Structure 1
Amino acid sequence: MKSLGQGGCHSKIWVKICGITSYEDGQLAIEHGADALGFVFYPKSPRYLPLAQASNLLSRFNVLKVAVVVNPSLEEIEVLKRELPIDLWQLHGEESPELGQVLPQGKIIKALRPPFEIKAKEWSQCTFAFLLDSPSEKWGGTGKAFDWKEACLFSRRYSYPFILAGGLNPDNIQKALYEVGPFGVDVSSGIETYPGKKDKKKLIDFIEKCKKLDSLRR
Structure 2
Amino acid sequence: MAVVDVLNSKGEKVSQVELSDEIFSVPVKPGVLHEVVTMQLASRRSGSASVKRRGDVAGSTKKLFRQKGTGRARRGNIKSPLLRGGGVVFGPSPKSYAYKVPKKVRRMALKMALSSKLQENELTVVDQLELDRIKTKAFAEVIRALNKSNVLLVTDAADEKLVLSSRNLPNVKVIKVEGLNVYDILKYRDIILLEPAVKAIEGRLSA
TM-score when normalising by structure 1: 0.28
TM-score when normalising by structure 2: 0.30
Structure with max Cα Rg: 2
